[in-house]
Structure formats: structure tokens, C-alpha cells
Structure 1
Amino acid sequence: MPETRPLRATDPREIGGSRLTARLGEGAQGIVYLGESGTGQRVAVKLLHADIGRDERARTLFDRELAAARRVAPFCTARILAADADGDIPYIISEYIDGPSLRDRVLQEGAASPAELVTLAIGTATALAAIHEAGVVHRDFKPANVLLGPDGPKVIDFGIARPLEATSATLTGAVGTPAYMAPEQVAGSAGGAPLDMFAWGCTMAFAANGVPPFGSDSVPAIMQRILYQEPDLGALTGDLRTLVASSLEKDPAARPTAIQVLQRLLGLGPNADLLAEGTSAVARPAAPPQAGNWTPPAATHPSAAGWTPPTPPTPPPSPPPLGTYPGSRPQTGRGGRVLLLAGAAAAVVILASGLVAALLLKSDGRAEGGRTPVAQSASSKSCAYRPATGANVKEVGKPPVALPATAPSRATVETGLGTLQISLDAGTAPCTVNSLAYLAAQKFYDRTSCHRLTTDPGLQVLQCGDPSGTGAGGPGYQFDDESLSSARYTRGAVAMANAGPNTNGSQFFILYGDTTSLPASYTVFGRVTSGMDIVDAVAKKGVAGGGTDGAPKQKVAINELRTA
């Protein structure tokens, strides 16, 4: 139960038919009391300060808050039970949420568990979807405004909410809490629903790590990072990390909407009652959606207005397996095993799938600005790298069997057309990321070219990573597939290619379009966070000599691939 304090002698004892029993909190605008309605229901009563209540502008803002709150459907938000904006002392009586705020819960007990993160992500996305569908922007979404009730998380406090159509001129200065403000808020420009999604991403990162993704030190330092630096996502991993990263894009148009996030979290189509389904899902926290049973809907770019997933096209005839170049033959290694082959790199858009929990450890070091970085642990398991032979094998030794305490979290691919940045997911694919980092250190990928482009409507990939350029090459080892049950092949995903089960080696592929035609047999180990325009440009040029599968007409040389 939230901490309460006794009523003071000057506090009222009854408001709007509800008996006040304790103080819950106080801010610059007013006081929130715990109360009891005439039917015995516990309620939260927000009362405007008497001196502020006489201020015309303050009353206008309070009236706006009430109007906004009344427009929002009560899905994962606190219901308004009664209100009076015109009396001597304006008030709002709302549903009382018997639970701590997310902020207090994390500060007192530590970061949320993977199961709690699933529930939290669904509940808060549902609330924001309801808020935005009512034509309202919350504008101060943060952990302190998320209450963890017995029936799931609830979003509260529309104290500075305003209609979507309002402009920045309606308020003076930036509004919000610095560590959770979007770049457009920091810059002082008008902002809409995307700024709430930025705050949602910050809030989810805080829940997973115990610290906001842009730090919690001085306001100038935080704002500098928000405007110009990448977020520290720490312990977030898998598809939830991808969702959060896309919500933290600097460009508001590149962020997903709350409905898009919710649709992906629930794995439901556009015709489903997403708000009701989201509310129902978090009311059953013991059984959150499981990634392995989750089928994502098709999707387009998240900034598209009125976005609805298109009907998936009829899959065309399948091209040769990823890792087998058209016209070539997969080479076999010792014991008749097929040698790993092909692929390509990276991911940026929103698209996500199930929510995969990963094992992470916090570093004791201090980063710039006083933040405590969170280092990604590859887990305590070892990797089996088996020998592989063939005419196109390039011997560079084998990666260490024991995984390092800290795995790389990103890769940079310098090409002749520009730079790709990839976020690596060592929590989901530790042996794959370990291999990539080893080969990068050996300069295995440097001065190679992406050798295959597939442009079928149901399979849009660019493959890279073969020093021989034949589509049949790799290092002198191969290793097992990882986390196939959570593999989701959406635009921007980077996956390890192969020519059969457990024939991984070096080749990878980048999806530049969603696909429903790939079987879950390729390890997804990363996502492009910038540079997808390079892949799109190559795809637009098409396949050399025509057709839908073969060498890309636009040459893509990898000058250097490095991890960090």
C-alpha cells in the first residue's frame, strides 16, 4: 500500500461526498488525499491548492486535466469517479490504486524480473493507447506515474496532459521530467503522442536497470545525452530491447505508436479489441504472453498514419536456403555436416516479437556523467565450435569456448556506401555474438562484399560475410543454432545464415522487409539501429542480370566490421 500521512488540522475532512482519511502526496498544484466514498470504496481525491484555485490560468489547466481524464477510456488507467472544476476548490475523485509506484518499487526492491517486464510493458502500452485514442498526450509519463496495483499496472496523473491538437504556445517552457523527456520536449518544440512513447521507452529501461537510459545526474548532462547520445539499455535484451530502442529514436516519426507496440506485445491483428485484451492480459500476471507461442502480425513503417498490418502475400517459390548461393552446392565438413554459409546485417524499425528475458550483470565501473553502465553477460555456458572443412574455408582459428564475462553489445559495419550500426543480443545468441566478435577481431570480414540479394515479396534479404565471395565459404568451424523459438524475421533483423541445421559459421543476412516465409531455423543475433537506408538502396537497384535472387547489382564492400 502507498505510504500515507495523517491529515493536518487545516485539511478538509470531506470532499464531494467522500470522507478524507489520510494524505497520499502533495505537489505544486495540489494535494492528493486517500478517501472513502459513501459506499465504502477507497478513492484518491486530488484537491487544487486554495490560492492556486483562485488563479485563472491554474483553473484553466486543472479544467483541461479533468476534460482530458474524462475522455480517456479506463483501460489500465485510474477511473474518474467524480469531479468539480468550477467550485471554490476544484477537485477530482478517482479510483484508488492499492500499490506502490514503479519508481518506489524499483528503488526499494531492485529491477523488475523478466515476467514483471512483460506485464509492465503490456499494461503501460495499453494505458498510453487509451490516452492517445482519446486525443490526449500525457506529457509526464514516468515511473512515478505508474502504480502497480493488484490487477496490473495503472497510469495516473493527467496533471499536465493536454489535447493532441494543442501547440507549444499553450504552456510556457518545457513540460515533463528531464530524465524521461523526448528530444523535442528538450528542444522546446511542440510534441504529440511520440513524446509519450519516448517516455515509455525510458520507463521500461528504468524498470529493467534501476536507472533511466540517459542517466540521472545533472539536468544539463541528461538533456545533452537525450539530444545527442544513444541510450544505455543495459539489461534489456531480445525483442523488448528492440521495442524500447525504437521508441527512443531521436526522430519522433520513427517511433512506434502505442497501438503498434501493444499489437506486437499481444500478437493480435488490427481487428482485435486491443485495449480490452491488454487490460485482461495484465490482470493475469501469472501467465503473461510467452515468446515461443507468439506470432507477430505483419507490419509497415511505424510512422505511417492509420497503420494496419497488410495481408501477407502468398509466399513465392522458395529460393535456395540462406547460406547456399544460387547455382552453388553446399560444402560438407567432417562427418558429412553441411558447412555454414550466408547472410547479412542489422535492424532499426520498431518491429518486435515475443519478450525474451536475458541474463545480465551490472558493472562496477562508472561511465561519463556518473552513470553506472550495465554490462551484458553472455551467461555462464560454453560454446561448441566444431571443425569444418571445404574448398572455400578460411582458417583463422576458433573462438574461445568459454564465453567472456562481458559480451559486445553493438557492431559497426563500415561499407563503401556508408555505415551500418547493429545492436547485438548476446543474451539470446551468446555463441553467435562470441563468434562474430572473434571473427571481427581477426579482420575476417574486412574487404569482403555482400554476395547475395533476394527480392521475393515474401523474402527480402541481403547476405554478407563470406570472404570467398562464392556464397559457399566460411571459417574453419561451425556451431549450433540458438533461440530459434524466439526468432522473428522482421525488417532490420540480423540473422546468422546456414545451409542446414547447426551449420553456422560467418555469413549473416539483413532483412529489409518483414517475411512470413522463413522457417525458424536462422539465429537472430542483432538488429540494425542505423543505416537501413543503405540496404534499401541496394535492394532498390535489384539483382544483377535481373531475377529475384542473386548477386546484388549495387556492389556492397565491407571495409571493416568491428564490435564493441
Structure 2
Amino acid sequence: MPESRPLRATDPREIGGFRLTARIGEGAQGLVFLGESGTGQRVAVKLLHADFGRDERARTLFDRELAAARSVAPFCTARILAADAEGDTPHIVSEYIDGPSLRDRVLEEGAASPAELVRLAVGTATALAAIHEAGVVHRDFKPANVLLGPDGPKVIDFGVARPLEATSATLTGAVGTPAYMAPEQVAGSAGGAPLDMFAWGCTMAFAANGVPPFGSDSVPAIMQRILYGEPDLGALTGELRTLVAASLEKDPAARPTALQVLQRLLGLGPNANLLVEGTSAAARPAAPPRAANWAPPAAPHPQAAGWTPPVPAPPPLPGTYPGGPPPAGRGGRVLLITGAAAAAVVLAGGLVAALLLMGDGEAEGGGRGGGGTPVARSTRSGSCAYRPATGTNTKDVGTPPTALPATAPSRATVETGLGTLQISLDAGTAPCTVNSLAYLAAQKFYDRTSCHRLTTGTSLQVLQCGDPSGTGTGGPTYQFDDESLRSARYTRGTVAMANAGPNTNGSQFFILYGDTTDLPASYTVFGRVTSGMDVVDKVAKRGVEGGGTDGAPAEKVTINELRTS
């Protein structure tokens, strides 16, 4: 458990509707408190030293950076639940990570083992890949901004170093921590994604050796070595040493990207879903790195000062089919089942939840939160319509509240007889769906139910769950409308609502264990599996009971408990 200290007489007792209970960190950017919501959810509340009210430029930059960070996918990062730069107490409320920082762990327990290093390298590279793909640059990546949570490392504090610096300095010049700054930062450039990869290499060397690769003495000496000296990589070996050395090249164009690092560490091809696979690998003990001859890319990659993110493909319009019309006999009728209006089949969609991590400086302790975009927004308005549904297999547990709560859950934990799945929830995209899931979970609706359908075709690979009757025609005594079908993407790890036709969502959901284009945008995507896909893969490997490609799974999987937080 991270160390906490009692509140001081001068500390606030409440910020942004969250009750503060203890101090858990203090750094250059601000104070970090342990807080609680009205429902008992623990959060990290960072009270910023910055005075945005007196500096319009800094507030504008801060808002712009947060907006950019909202497009960061939720892989190996913590979530921002609320942020306010307008009042007398500018603050950021984020997910609480119950674990120490990498800096504190190494200083207290020594260097990481080889297997721990690979897990750490995979998790942090995954986070940086997600950050960079959204066009965001961390600018202050370091061991203090990597928290070691129970489900793997989480990167915090990206996207805020520069706007916070701007409240007391100009908007140009070096921002960062000297021992982890890239040569272009030392030279005063704003820099781009490659400077984060330089910091990643320094952080991996610190984890392996207990000291940064360019020393930890005086700032002038460190900067001299960064500009002109060679790094000391110490105990690093094998492919990880090669990757770290390449990341520490003086020329930013010679450094690998985070995705290239991740691809090499995982040993996967370029078409793999690297962010999903990296998150899953970081959440479990890592295997030793694979031996391979790797060299930095010959083609230059995005320059430090001119990096821009890839442009995503536009989402399909309502009623269109991704990749062209579906083949005959597939498409809209795939896995659809008639019956109770709440009944549905499992078909999976892609979620890109936006996260920005906010932590604190070198003096902070563990257990802090990071930031993300307000995927599960803490200040929400609006209401949901839950209409009556009838059918012989419905189960009456009441109806969810129609008014959306102030704080939506951002995670679901599914305990099964084969292992645990962690799901990030996107209440920003599907608020009524997440509201219903949280309600049913609180009513124990899903507990002791079995996943009842598996589809193993080459173009559709899904596991369907959430029907207490086990027939595929069951659900609660209410139904509700589809949400955000324009943004639906059906890729491995996606969690989406099954339905019996438009606007007939109930309790059944499905998990995609393979990418597909053979599925219309007809199913509300509300989450993504961040760890535990091996459970679904195990069920898929056993196939369908009695053979075939669609039916009851041969490997029985029972949900012992589903809870949200």
C-alpha cells in the first residue's frame, strides 16, 4: 500500500465534490491527495500550484493539451475523471493507482529482474504508443511518472508539463527532468515523440541499474553527457539493451517509435493489435525477451519538432457497412436472435476511450492517479430511457435510474471460473449502456451466469455472455436504445451490446477475440478488455460444443461476479 500522510490544518477538505482524506504526494506541479466520491470510489486529486486565473495563455494551452489527450486510447494509462482550471483551486481528479512509482520501487528494493524489466518495457511502450498515436507528447516521462499498479505499469502526467510550466515561464524552452531529457530538450526545443523515446530508454536503464544512464550528479554534468557522452547501460542485455541503445541515439530521427519497440518486444507482426496485446502482456508476468537482430530504422521517422499523429479513417455513416456491403447471409442478421426485446447475440465492437495521466513530481509517493480524458465523466447531464420489455425469459430486477449519475464507473471486473477480465468502460460514448451495466452488476444480475454462445468463423469470432437463462433469449424486463453507432469499431478486445434489432439492448454483451469487418455498425460499443483476453482465447480454442462454428462453448465459462468501479 502506498504511504499516506494526514491532512494538514491548511489543506482543503473537499475539492470538486470529492472528499479529501490524506496526502499521498507532493512535487513541483502540486499536491496530491487521496479522495473519495460520494459512492466511496477512491480517486487521486492533484491540487495544482499553477494560477491559471492570472495567465490566459497558460489556461488556453492547458485546455488545448487536455483536449488533445482525450483522444488517447486507454492502454496502460490512468484516467482523468475531472479537471478545472477556472476556479481558485485548479485541480485534476484522476483514477487512483494502488501502487508505488517505479522510482520509489527501485530506490527501496533495487533494480528490476530481467522478467520484470520486459513487463515494464512492454507496458510503458504501450502507453507511449497510445499517447503518440493521438498526437500528444509526454515531455516529462521518467520513473516517478510510472506507477506500478496491480494490473501492470501505468504512465501518468503526460500532456501537462508544458502548460503548467507556462504559468511561470515562457511557452518555449526546455521542460522536463534533467536526467531523462533528450538532447533536443537540453538544446531548448519543444520536441516531439522521439524525445519521449529517449526518456523511455533512460527509464529502462534506471530500472535495470538503479541509476540513470547519464548519471545523477550535477545538472550541468548530466546535460553535458546527454549532449556528447555515451550512456551507461549496465545490466541491460539482449534485445532490450539493443532497443534502449537505439532509443538513446542523439539524432531523434534515428530512434525507434514506441510501436516499433512494442512490436519487437512482443515478437508480433505489424498487423497485430499491438496496444491490446501490449496491455495484456504488461498485466501478467513477462517472458524473457526474444533474441533477434534488430537495427534502428533506415528511413527517418518523425522529426522531433515536426511530429504529427496519423490521421484515423473516418467512421462509417449510419447504415453503412465498414469495408463495403456484407457478404450474402452475413451482415445484419449475423447472430441476431428474436425473443425478449432485451435478448441479443454477442457481436463485438471497438472502443477507443481517451485517457490522460496526471501524477506528480519526483517527490511523490505511490498510489497516485494519472490522467486520461473524461471517458467516464464525473460531471454529466442528461437522462436515459429504459422501456419495458416482455418475454418468457426475462428476469425482473427493477429499472436503472434514468438520471445519469455525477460520476460514472470507468472499469468492470469480471471474475470467472477460468480467470479475471478487466474491462475499461466508455461512459462518454455509451452513458446509458454503462449506467445499465452498473445497475445490473449492483443487483448481482450477472453473478453465477454462464457465457452461452461462441462463434468461431473466420470472419466473426465472438463470445456472448450476460443471459441468466442461458438460452440467448433472456434479459431484464427493460430495454434501451443504441448509442454512438457511428464510432463503432469491431476489433479484438472490444465489448459491445448484443441485440435483437435496433434499440433493443438489454443485458447480453459480447467480446470479440478477433478483428472483423463482417459486421455492420449496429451494436453499441461500451468497453474494451484491458487484461484477461487469455480467458476468452482459452474458451475459443476449445471451440463449439459438438463441433461447428456457432453454438454453446465446449469450455464452460461462468461469471462468478461482475462488478463496476
Question: With structure 1 as the length reference, what TM-score do the two structures score?
Answer: 0.50
Q: Which has the higher contact order (CA 8 A, sep 6+)?
A: 2
Task: Determine which structure has more spread, i.e. the larger CA radius of gyration.
Answer: 1
Question: With structure 2 as the length reference, what TM-score do the two structures score?
Answer: 0.50
